[in-house]
Each structure stands twice: as C-alpha cells, then as structure tokens.
A and B are shown apart, each in its own frame.
Chain A
C-alpha cells in the first residue's frame, strides 16, 4: 500500500520535471538564453518542490503511524487488558499484530481481541487513505507553486544546487549517526545491564554462566556474569592466531618485496590476497569439520587429551585468515622505506638478509607494529570462525587443547535464543559488545596513529 504511494510519488515528480522544463521553455520567450539557468534546472526545481516536502511528510507519517494506531487501539481496550504490566501488554500487542496479518496467534482470541484487531484494521485503512490524500495534495501543491514561480529571473540552478549540497552534507552525517547509534545503543543497554549486575563483577568475576531465573525456585537460576574467562578465551585464540599469522605474513611480505622476481610477485601477491576474500563462515566450516577432528586425531594419537572444539583448531584457522592482513599491510610499509637506505647498506657490503634485519626492519618497525595491532583487532572481533569451531562454555585456561569460549561467541549465543529484550542475558550481550567496541577502537586508534607517524618520517 505504502510502497505503491512511494512509486506514485516518484512518477509524479518525474512528471513535475517534465512540466517544469516545458514551462521554462514557455516563459523564455523564444530563446533559452533569456533564462537564468538551463531549462533542466527549472525542471529539477519543480520536481524537488513536488517530491521533497511530500516525501518528508510521508516518511514521518509512515514511521509514526503504526505506534499511534497501537496506542489508540490499546486505549480502546477493556480496562483489565489495558492495565496489564508492560511485558504482558507487549505480548498482547504482538498477538494483535499477528491477528491482523493473519498469522497464528498464541492462544484462541477472545472477542475483545477480535474487536481490537478490527479497530486496528479500520484505523490503518483510514490512516493510509489520509496519507494518500495529504501526500498527493502536497505534491500537487508543490507543482503548482513551482509552476507559478518559474520565470526567466528565477535562479533555479542556485536553488537546486543548494538542495543537492544539503543532500551531500546530510549523507556525510550518516557516518556520524552510525557511530553515535552504535555508541548510544550499546552504552544504553549496557547501563541497564550494569544496573542489574555490578560492573566490578562483570569485569573481574571469574565465573561466567549466564542464567536468569524464570521462576523463583528454578534450578540453576543463579547467574554469574564474570567476564574474565571470556577475555582469557579471546586472548588465547587470538594469541594462537597471531603466532601463526605474524611469522608467515611478515616473512611472506619480506620475501615478496625483497627476493621475489616481479613475475612471481605478480602471481603470488594476489593469490595470497584470496585468503582475505574468503567469507569467514567458510573458514569456520573448514575449522569445525576438517581441522578440529584432525587435531583431535593427532592429539589422541600422541596420548594427549584434546577437546573436540580445541582452541588450537579455531586459533590456527583464524591465523590463516589473518595472514593477508599482516602481509599486505607490512608489504606497504616495507616498500615505503626509500631505496637509498638499501643502496647505502649494499654499498657497505651487507648481504640482503643483513640489510633486511638491520636496516629495513628497524626502519619499518613502527609501521609493522601498527599492522600487527590492526590484525589483532581483527582477530578479537572475529565471530563466525569461533562460533563454529570454539566451545560454548566458559573455561579459564591457557591450554590450547581445551575448549574455550570468546566474547563474540557469547554475544551470539545470548542473542540468538528466544528471550525478551530486557532480561540480563540479552543485556549482557550488549555489555560484551561495549567491551569489544572499546578495545578494538583503542587498538585501531593506536595502530593508525603509529602508522601515520611512521609515514611522516619518510615524506
């Protein structure tokens, strides 16, 4: 219904463009030179007057309409339903919505509900109809206004460009709003969480078993929300990943940049980049179905006790995924060291490895450290590999053969079950998300700062 209106609006604006243009030709009195702007600008002027106000009203109305209707319907409910506690009321509203859209409901609807559903339908029809009327009249009024305003002296180009400028500025603020949105939503929910679970317990507690009591006498109802095992697990798996990625990535970058022939480099560099393009779910699959059983076999063959979801398996595969990050960032950094450094070293009689070890690496070190930090940040924030290959129960250990869980795994498990939005479990996920966001942000800022300072050294 509403999308049809949107489509109609677009068509109308296109018509307005055409009309405006024609009008411009008409008032030009023979030669378009008499006009201030090109006729197409007059057309755009008319289209904007037709479409923009109507679109704005449409957007606001359509967003607010559902909640307004819900409020009206709830106000019309019999008192005993109206005065239900908020969470029960929410369920009721959900049922109502389901009834209206013809889906299954949680229980057989009583007459009050059916009547409310009817009211909802009616209100919605009225609302949509009025929306049509308002939007269409606005659009037509816009066309009329523009029509009257078009004259040779009207600076249509300036007006249109101002609107375009506004659009550009507005687009740029989307990025800010996104960050704001992330920060606000995560912080807000975390604050709600910390009201239920003290922050010290969260940051320093050693027990993680997020249960909440549904009934007062439920077994296992005490929840422990100490996140240290999660941090430890994240660090363990990320640490293993870095142990794999840094040597391989760095040495690959050095080899490609200092030893490889141009032809070898032209083939090998993109091939290594492929690793960066593979979706993480594929890595997770590989880790869970191939690497973990393999490690388990090898381990039990050696007489060790290896969990089926060992941290080693997840860490190894995550390391493979991160190799291209380390290698291509390091490659950029190493290539930025000027050739005169290398020449000076070779002229003194140093071998290539000596030049690399004693001149290039120390010179490029800040940049390499920056790239490692970025890689660590990536490892910490990685989700799918650990969800598929790492364990679910919190385990505070440094043994890579055991199963551990990470922050990201817990966020996923806490939020992909069926629970209400306000329970401490879901809020805990937001608190974890806050930790994740803050840590990766700090790492990224440090890394970018270090790399930028290093680059300034050579430019």
Chain B
C-alpha cells in the first residue's frame, strides 16, 4: 500500500475522436430513449384507463337502478272487501284481500281486457308488493276505507326494464320476458302519463327479495354495520395494545422477533384461510351460530389485526424519543409516559391505519362466505346474533341472478359500497393531513 502509484507506461495519446464516436450512435440511442419513455407513458395510461373504465362501467350500469317505475292505478278502497262488518278492526283490515283491490284497479285502467290469460298478463304489470303497499296505507290511515284514490303502485321488474329501454322489442315474443300485449298496455299507460319513475327508496329500505323490484340492501347494510362494529371493537383495542407492547415494552429477544415475523406473515395470508379458521374454530368448535355478525366480526377482526398493528407501530415509531425521555425524566412511570404522551401523539396515525383496515374489511367477502353469510336472508338483522349478510356478499349473491333488473341493482349496490369506501378512505386521508406533524 505504500508503493507509489505505478505511472502509466507512456500511454499512447488517447483517441480524441469521442465526439464522432458518440455522434454515430446518438440517433439510435435517442430513439431508444423516446421509445422507452413511451412504454412508460402507455403503461401508466393503461393503468389509469382501467380505473376509469371500471368506474364508468359500474356507474353506467347502476345509475338507472336508483329510479324505479311506478304505475298510477285508480284504487277503490271498497269497504265491502276491506271491512265488511264496519268495525275498523285492525285484524280484519290486516287480513283483507288487497290483491283484489289491485286487480279491480287494473281492470278499470283497461276495461276491454277479457279472458283469464289476458287478465293474468294485465295483473302481472304490477309488482306483487302492490297489495302490501295498500295494506300498509290502510293500516296507517284506516279512514281510507271507502275512499277512492289514484295510487302510485310499484311496477313489476319486467315493466321497469322495458320502460328503461333495456328490452329488445324486435326479437320474437317467445324469447322475451314481456309479451306483446303487455308492451301495448305499457305504451298506452306511458302515453296517458300514468307511468312515472320515482327515486328508488325500496333499494334502501327493504331487505333481500326474489323479486327484483322489491329487493333492497338494507339487510346487507345493517349486517355490514354490525359486523364492522364487532370488528372495530375487537381489533382496535387489541391491535393498539399489541403495537404499544411491541414498540415500547417488549424486550428485544427471540420471542418478540417471533411475534413480529408472525404478524408480518399474517398480514399476507389469503383472506379465505381466515374463513377456514372461522369455520373450524368459531362455528365448529365453539358452536357459534352461522352467519351471525358476531362470527363475521370475529373473523374479520383477526384479518384486520395485523394491519392495525403495523400501522400502529409506524405511528409510534414516528414519535421522537425526546418526548419519551422528557416524560421519564420528570418521574412518570413507563405506562404513564406511554399513555399520557406517546399514545395521544401517535393516535391520529393509528386511527388512520385502522380506518383503512376497516375499509378493507368492509369490502371483504371470501371469509364470510365460509362462515355461512351466504344464505338468502329477507329480514333485516337487529342484533349481533341474527343471521345476516354483508354488502359485498349480497353483491355476490345478486350477481348470479339473470334478470336485467338484478344486474342494475347489483351495480347500484356496488356504487353504494364504493361510496362508503371512498368516504372511509377520504376520512383517513383527511385525518392524516390534519394531524400530520413534522418533527
């Protein structure tokens, strides 16, 4: 190392022609540069195009579902049918034959229709829910008995599809769900202004149903709500506690290393495996009821736990050590230091991570399929133990059904789901921006 650098043995004068050498290859190299840049631009454009495409597709398909076709039918609340003994007894009123009233009304709209088959087709224009609608009105206002009113009744799904222009009128009658005579009547009703599209509140107020026009996502929404509540109540405290322990208290030994490796691996396990765990342990071993939000919440909280722990640890690490040392220096115990000083400062970061974790849990469906949330459930759940389903699973169930009206509703349900996710993610980002501190 102490020998002088051997001087280069009289090198020949270097070729000064670097300018021409480079010039020769320059055009090719610049072309390659341009191509490469184009590939990158195309790639990112493709990626962004996919985003736009998916959203456009979903919104395009789902937007019409927010409007529902109603038919205005003259209804005579015939006292003879509803309340023969005139006592306005709620029981009698409840059990009356409202369907007959609907049928009479329809016949009044089209008095020329005769014959059983034709009449059946006519009655089919209106949803089977119409009778229940009349029942609800009468039970609410018994004074209606004896009155005559034009009531907007829910149209059947096929009429709705026709009015929205999604049925091909040109194909053969036998290939269509709606018949020529029905089309004729609908056209006449539209001409007379007796067909109207109103905002589809049914989608948000009723549970699942076999009839598309009566199907709603309320049951799924409540199910999601209960499930997410359980998930949050379980995963947030445990996740924060674990993050605090690992970051502040745990000695650096092999045991804690193991826990860390564990958590990192759990974060990457496919969600369906958590479903298997839920099935084997919660349902089979502990005997909890299938498709209860409690079980769904338990499974999802196990899935969300690693996300919250990792986000929590990142938040705790970002709090500078000087704050900890200042607190300890004043005589605070370790727990007091963490609880009074570190945790409040790290809380925004933890909340952000948890909200993002919740948003992911909201969209999860695979593990919930395993624990049975896949049944056809009509009632809206009212507690943690009622059988229920969640919104993504509802979407999955509806996507199998062939009716055009269900395709619409599935897309609309997806829009609602995406809206929630955008809301939650937006909240997380807002939280992060507002409470971000630069140390």
Chains A and B share a contact (CB less than 8 Å) = yes
A286 adjacent to B281 (CB under 8 Å): no
Query: Restricting to A355-400, which residues have a CB under 8 Å from any CB of B?
Result: 356-357, 374, 377-378, 380-384, 387-388
A352 adjacent to B272 (CB under 8 Å): no
Chain A residue numbers with a CB within 8 Å of B272 are: 381, 383, 408, 411-412, 433, 436
- Distance, CA A412 to CA B50, complexed state (A): 28
B399 adjacent to A412 (CB under 8 Å): no
Minimum C-beta distance from B261 to chain A (A): 9
Given A259-B37, A282-B54, A412-B366, are A174 and B242 also a contact pair (CB < 8 Å)?
A: yes
Given A168-B245, A181-B277, are A412 and B370 also a contact pair (CB < 8 Å)?
A: yes
Partner of B276, one of A254, A290, A411, A421: A411
B35 (CB) vs chain A CBs: closest residue: A353
Given A161-B333, A380-B270, A383-B366, are A271 and B48 also a contact pair (CB < 8 Å)?
A: yes
Q: Mark B249-262, 1 if CB is under 8 A from A, else 0.
A: 11000000011001
A281 adjacent to B245 (CB under 8 Å): no
B50 adjacent to A275 (CB under 8 Å): yes
Minimum C-beta distance from A390 to chain B (A): 14
A327 (CB) vs chain B CBs: closest residue: B47
Query: Is the CB of B120 closer than 8 A to any CB of chain A?
Result: no
Query: Is the CB of A430 closer than 8 A to any CB of chain B?
Result: yes
Main secondary structure of the interface of A (DSSP, over half): helix
Chain B residue numbers with a CB within 8 Å of A357 are: 36
Chain A residue numbers with a CB within 8 Å of B287 are: 66-67
Query: Restricting to B184-243, which residues have a CB under 8 Å from any CB of A?
Result: 237-239, 241-242
Chain B residue numbers with a CB within 8 Å of A384 are: 365-366, 392, 396
A351 adjacent to B33 (CB under 8 Å): yes
Query: Restricting to A286-327, which residues have a CB under 8 Å from any CB of B?
Result: 286, 288-290, 320, 323-324, 327
A168 (CB) vs chain B CBs: closest residue: B245
Q: Mark A164-187, 1 if CB is under 8 A from B, else 0.
A: 110111011111101101100110
- Distance, CA A275 to CA B54, complexed state (A): 9
- Distance, CA A63 to CA B258, complexed state (A): 30
A248 adjacent to B366 (CB under 8 Å): no
Chain B residue numbers with a CB within 8 Å of A67 are: 287
Minimum C-beta distance from B316 to chain A (A): 13
B370 adjacent to A279 (CB under 8 Å): no
- Distance, CA A444 to CA B302, complexed state (A): 19
> Which of B38-46, B76-84, B105-113 sits within the interface?
B38-46
B280 adjacent to A186 (CB under 8 Å): yes
A255 adjacent to B41 (CB under 8 Å): yes
B242 adjacent to A445 (CB under 8 Å): no
Query: Is the CB of A79 closer than 8 A to any CB of chain B?
Result: no
Query: Restricting to A17-68, which residues have a CB under 8 Å from any CB of B?
Result: 63, 66-67
A175 adjacent to B399 (CB under 8 Å): no
Given A174-B238, A279-B363, A353-B37, are A374 and B276 also a contact pair (CB < 8 Å)?
A: no
- Distance, CA A388 to CA B365, complexed state (A): 12
A175 adjacent to B276 (CB under 8 Å): no
Q: Mark B373-407, 1 if CB is under 8 A from A, else 0.
A: 01000000000000000001101100100000001
Query: Is the CB of A154 closer than 8 A to any CB of chain B?
Result: no
Chain A residue numbers with a CB within 8 Å of B35 are: 353
Chain A residue numbers with a CB within 8 Å of B359 are: 277
Query: Restricting to B55-100, which residues have a CB under 8 Å from any CB of A?
Result: 57-58, 61
B241 adjacent to A172 (CB under 8 Å): yes
Partner of B43, one of A247, A274, A284, A354: A247
Query: Is the CB of A437 closer than 8 A to any CB of chain B?
Result: yes
Query: Is the CB of B323 closer than 8 A to any CB of chain A?
Result: no
Partner of A248, one of B47, B250, B393: B47
Query: Is the CB of B171 closer than 8 A to any CB of chain A?
Result: no
A281 adjacent to B40 (CB under 8 Å): no
Q: Mark A184-214, 1 if CB is under 8 A from B, else 0.
A: 0110110000000000000000000000000
Partner of A256, one of B30, B44, B425: B44
A252 adjacent to B43 (CB under 8 Å): yes
Minimum C-beta distance from A459 to chain B (A): 16
- Distance, CA A123 to CA B198, complexed state (A): 55
Partner of B47, one of A161, A164, A272, A290: A272
> Which of B131-139, B154-162, B347-355, B414-422 sits within the interface?
B414-422
B50 adjacent to A320 (CB under 8 Å): yes
B367 (CB) vs chain A CBs: closest residue: A383
A437 adjacent to B269 (CB under 8 Å): yes
Chain B residue numbers with a CB within 8 Å of A408 are: 270, 272, 366
Query: Is the CB of A441 closer than 8 A to any CB of chain B?
Result: yes
B410 adjacent to A285 (CB under 8 Å): yes
Query: Is the CB of A218 closer than 8 A to any CB of chain B?
Result: no
Query: Is the CB of B167 closer than 8 A to any CB of chain A?
Result: no
Minimum C-beta distance from A272 to chain B (A): 5
Minimum C-beta distance from B414 to chain A (A): 5
Minimum C-beta distance from B352 to chain A (A): 14
B280 adjacent to A381 (CB under 8 Å): no
A165 adjacent to B335 (CB under 8 Å): yes
Given A165-B335, A178-B302, A441-B269, are A290 and B57 also a contact pair (CB < 8 Å)?
A: yes
Chain A residue numbers with a CB within 8 Å of B50 are: 275, 320, 323
- Can you list 11 pairs linking A and B with CB atoms under 8 Å apart? A67-B287, A171-B245, A175-B259, A188-B280, A255-B40, A260-B44, A383-B272, A408-B366, A433-B272, A433-B276, A437-B269
Beyond A185-B277, A408-B270, 6 additional contacts (C-beta under 8 Å) are A260-B44, A280-B363, A280-B366, A290-B57, A353-B33, A441-B269
Binding site for B on A (CB under 8 A): 63, 66-67, 157, 161, 164-165, 167-169, 171-176, 178-179, 181-182, 185-186, 188-189, 247-252, 254-256, 258-260, 268, 271-272, 274-275, 277-286, 288-290, 320, 323-324, 327, 349, 351-354, 356-357, 374, 377-378, 380-384, 387-388, 408, 411-412, 415-416, 421, 429-430, 433, 436-437, 440-441, 444-445, 448
> Which 4 A-B pairs rank lowest in CB-CB distance, beginning with the nearest?
A381-B270, A279-B363, A255-B40, A251-B43
